[in-house]
Amino acid sequence: MYKLGIDVGGTNTDAVLLDENLNVVADCKHPTSRDIYEGIMGAIRIILEQSGVDRSQIAQAMLGTTQCTNAIVERKHLAQIGILRIGAPATCAIQPMVDWAEDIQKIAVGNVVIGGGYEYDGKEIAPLDEEAAIAFFREMKEKGIHSIAISCTFSTVRNEQEARAAELCRKIMGEDVHISISSEIGSMGLIERENATILNAALWQVAEGFTEGFAKSLADEGITNADIYLSQNDGTLMTMEHARRYPILTVACGPTNSIRGASYLSHRQNAIILDVGGTTTDLGAIQNGFPRESSVAVTIGGVRTNFRMPDVISIGLGGGSIVRQHDDGSVTVGPDSVGYEITQKALVFGGDTLTATDIAVRLGMADIGDRRLVEGVSPELAAKAMETIRGLVEDAIDAMKLSNEDTDVILVGGGSIILPETLAGAAEVVKPQHFGCANAIGSAISKISGNYEKLINYDVVPRELALAQAKEEAVELAVRAGAIRETVEIIEVEDIPLAYYPGNTNRVKIKAAGDLAE
C-alpha cells in the first residue's frame, strides 16, 4: 500500500510517494502548469518512474492546492450566489457584505435578512420566517442561481433554523442546489462566519473543477484504486465529497502542510517551524502534532473571516536577501532580495550582489557555487551579517512562542542553509532530510478531524460531564468525516470563561482526529 501526496504551489508542484510505514519512497518537484493538471500529471509520472511502484498499489492520494485562495484573491471563477441571513429583527443594521470591496460584492445576486435567530442561550429571537425564506429561494431560482449561503445568529449554539432553511431551499431550488451553512463553516462572530460562508458558496465551481480534475489526472495515469482526499488548513484531510461542500477550508493549506511535513520528518510534536525561501521565511508552530491556529480574524482577499487558519508570520529574510554595510559600520540583511535571480546575482555564482547565501558560504556553513568568489568578503563583515541574521530569526522565533520555555526549532526550505545551527530560545535546531518536499509529505500524512464548539453553562451541566459529552460529539464528527473510530484522539480541548454571561458560561472547543479508513 502506498500514499501519494501532492502539493500544488505557485511555482512548483511537489509530489511524494510514501510506503505503508510512511517512509519516503520517491519525491520530486515539477513546474506548476497553468491548468495545474499538466503539472500534477508530470509530477506523478516522475514519481512512478523513480519508484517503479505498481500503480494499483497506491491506495490513497492527497492533494493540497491554492486554487481557492487564488480564486478569491484574483476574483476569478467565483460563482453568482444568493445570501440568506436569519436574524431579524436583530442584525439588520449590518447588511451582508457591508465592508466588502465592490469588485467582489458583485458575486451576490440577491441578499436578504429574514426573521428568526437565537440568543446566546439558545432562546429564539423570533421563529424562522419560512414564508420569507421560500419567497427568496423562488426569486433565486428564477434568476438561475445554483448556490446559496445561509447564516443565522448564534447558529454555533443552535442550528435548527439554518437546517430548516436548507431543507426549504432544497425543496424549492432542487436537490442539486449548493447550500453553504454558517454553523458548519465558521465560529463565533456572525459577520466573519457569514463572510466565510459566502466565499464558500461562491467557490462551488472552483471546487468541482479541482476535485474532478485531480480525480481525472489520477485516472489518466492509471491510479484507479486510490481514495482521494484534499488537504484543509488545519492539517487534516477531507473527502472529495466534503471538499466539494466546504472548499473554503482548503484556503491556506500550503503553510499548514509544510508545518505538518516538517514535524513528521523531524519526529517532533511540539516545535516552531521555519520555512526559509529565497525572499522570505515563514514561521509556524506545531502543537501536539497539529499547526497552531491563529487567534485573530484572518483576512482573505480583503474579506474578514474567522475560520480555522494556521498562525503564520513572515519575515523578509531568505537565501537571496541582500546584505549591506552602512557608513556607521552596521550591517543589514534584507528585507529586499535578489529572489529567483540568485543564480545570476549572488557573488558565489559570479554576480555582484552580496547575499545571505554568500555570507553562509564565506563562513563555511554551506558549499554552494564557487567559494573562492567570496574570499574578498572580510570575516568581520561576514560575522556581523550572521549576527544580524541570527537576531532577525531569534526575534521571530520568540514572537511565535506562547511561553518563555525553549522550544525545538525545525528548519526546512532551500534557504535554510543561511541559518546558524544554534539559536537562542531553541532547545534543539533540526534540519531534517527531504526538507524540500515537506509540503507534499504534510499532505500525504494528514489525519481526518472533527471540530465541535458550543457555549455551555457549567452551573447547569457540570464541567466534567459537559466536556465528556463535547468530546463524544467531536469524535462522532471525525468518524463521520472518514476517520477510523479506534484511532480517533482528542487533540485539542479549550474552554474559555465568558465575561458578562450569566452563571458559569464557557465557550468549549474540541477537536478530534484519527487515521483515515482504508
Partner 1 sequence: MRKIGISEIEDIAMGAALLGAGGGGDPYVGKLVAIGAVKECGPVTLLDPDEIPDDVLIMPIAMMGAPTVLAEKGIGGKEYETLYKMVSRFFGREIYALMPIEAGGVNSMLPIAAAARLGLPLVDCDGMGRAFPELQMVTFTIGGLKATPMALTDEKGNSVIFDTITNKWTEELARAVTMSCGGSVSVSLYVMTGGQMKQYGVKNIVTRSQKLGEAIRTVKNSAPLTPEEHFLQFAEGFKLFKGKIADVLRETRGAFNYGKVVLEGIGEYKDRQAFVQFQNENLLASVDGEILATTPDLICLVDTETFSPVTTDALKYGKRVMVVGLKCFEMWRTPAGIELVGPRYFGCDTDYIPLEKRCEGGTANV
Footprint on this chain of partner 1 (rule: CB under 8 A): 87-95, 98-99, 117, 119-120, 123, 125-126, 153-154, 188-191, 295-297, 304, 398-404, 497-502
* DSSP bridge pairs for 441: none
List the one residue out of 264, 260, 216 whose CA is nearest residue 237.
260
Phi, psi at 320, each rounded to 5°:
-100, 5
Cβ of residue 409: shortest distance to partner 1, in angstroms? 14
DSSP 19: -
The C-alpha atoms of residue 233 and residue 446 are separated, in whole angstroms, by: 11
List the one residue out of 154, 136, 153 whose CA is nearest residue 145.
136
Which residue, 89 or 222, is less far from partner 1 as judged by CB?
89
Classified as helix, coil or strand, 442 is helix
Cβ of residue 9: shortest distance to partner 1, in angstroms? 28
Cβ of residue 87: shortest distance to partner 1, in angstroms? 7
Judge contact between 294 and 302, C-beta under 8 A: no
Judge contact between 262 and 435, C-beta under 8 A: yes
The C-alpha atoms of residue 251 and residue 260 are separated, in whole angstroms, by: 16
β-pairing, 147-152 vs 178-181, is parallel
Cβ of residue 428: shortest distance to partner 1, in angstroms? 20
Which residue, 208 or 398, is less far from partner 1 as judged by CB?
398
DSSP 197: H
CA dihedral sign, ordered 32, 70, 322, 384? negative
Which residue, 106 or 171, is less far from partner 1 as judged by CB?
106
List the one residue out of 293, 323, 317 whose CA is nearest residue 305.
293
The string of DSSP codes covering 244-299 is HH-GGGGTTHHHHHHHHHHHHHHT-SSEEEEEE-SS-EEEEEEETTEEPBPSS-EE
Cβ of residue 426: shortest distance to partner 1, in angstroms? 14
Which residue, 121 or 489, is less far from partner 1 as judged by CB?
121
Cβ of residue 88: shortest distance to partner 1, in angstroms? 7
Which residue, 61 or 423, is less far from partner 1 as judged by CB?
423
Judge contact between 143 and 109, C-beta under 8 A: yes
Distances, alpha carbon 4 to alpha carbons 15, 25, 66, 440, in Å: 7, 10, 18, 8
Which residue, 15 or 303, is less far from partner 1 as judged by CB?
303
Which residue, 396 or 467, is less far from partner 1 as judged by CB?
396
Cβ of residue 161: shortest distance to partner 1, in angstroms? 14
Q: Where are the beta strands (DSSP E) in 132-177?
A: 147-152
Judge contact between 215 and 239, C-beta under 8 A: no
Judge contact between 331 and 385, C-beta under 8 A: yes
Cβ of residue 130: shortest distance to partner 1, in angstroms? 19
Which residue, 2 or 154, is less far from partner 1 as judged by CB?
154
Which residue, 90 or 347, is less far from partner 1 as judged by CB?
90
Which residue, 55 or 454, is less far from partner 1 as judged by CB?
454
Cβ of residue 90: shortest distance to partner 1, in angstroms? 4
Cβ of residue 123: shortest distance to partner 1, in angstroms? 7
